[in-house]
């Protein structure tokens, strides 16, 4: 019987730091030719090499139209780390630090993710997350480290004046009724 060779990890993935400790972008190696392209969107060995050792338990896929703004969502129990990417379209992806013990508590970071740049954003547990669609339509895929728990989900006001997030708006955003009821940062349940 022949032994199955060990899977070799992707030889290169670029990590791009953000202003928030623990939050960073990943730029996978893309192999392209006249047929199109290939990339590994997830490889456990490679993720561990860059510091993502969390176990993912759920994959999510959303499709939204231009100016749809989703978030800012988080769970007070069963906090979710998220590995976010866009396979088609472009979004402005936002993470807000809700860890009271963090020197960056209440700070946010916004990055552009798109099907074209193929970058991913790692947001560890302890952050609120949201995005706004910049293209006509965007397909957003993300892996989560814990299951969705509606009883523990909270929504931070996307337009909170104290946070003053620059959503790069070019018109009125399309926001769900649930997200319109998001609470102000000063009133939000946060993490120890």
Positions marked active-site: 73, 142
Number of other CB atoms surrounding residue 154 within 10 Å? 16
Sign of torsion over alpha carbons 25, 53, 60, 95:
negative
Which whole-number Å values give the CA distances from 51 to 60, 122, 161, 172, 184, in the listed order? 22, 10, 33, 38, 32
Sign of torsion over alpha carbons 27, 170, 130, 148:
negative
């Amino acid at each position: 019987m022949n032994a199955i060779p060990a899977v070799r990890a992707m030889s290169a993935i670029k990590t791009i730091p953000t202003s928030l400790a623990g939050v960073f972008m990943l730029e996978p190696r893309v192999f392209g030719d006249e047929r199109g392209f290939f990339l590994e969107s997830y490889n456990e060995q490679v993720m561990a090499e860059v510091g993502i050792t969390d176990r993912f338990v759920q994959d999510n896929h959303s499709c939204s139209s231009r100016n749809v703004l989703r978030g800012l969502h988080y769970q007070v129990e069963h906090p979710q780390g998220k590995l976010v990417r866009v396979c088609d379209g472009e979004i402005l992806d936002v993470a807000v630090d809700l860890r009271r013990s963090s020197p960056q508590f209440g700070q946010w970071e916004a990055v552009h993710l798109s099907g074209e740049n193929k970058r991913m954003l790692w947001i560890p547990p302890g952050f609120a997350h949201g995005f706004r669609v910049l293209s006509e339509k965007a397909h957003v895929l993300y892996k989560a480290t814990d299951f969705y728990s509606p009883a523990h989900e909270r929504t931070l006001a996307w337009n909170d004046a104290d946070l003053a997030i620059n959503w790069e708006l070019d018109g009125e955003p399309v926001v769900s009724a649930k997200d319109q009821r998001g609470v102000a940062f000063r009133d939000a349940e946060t993490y120890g």
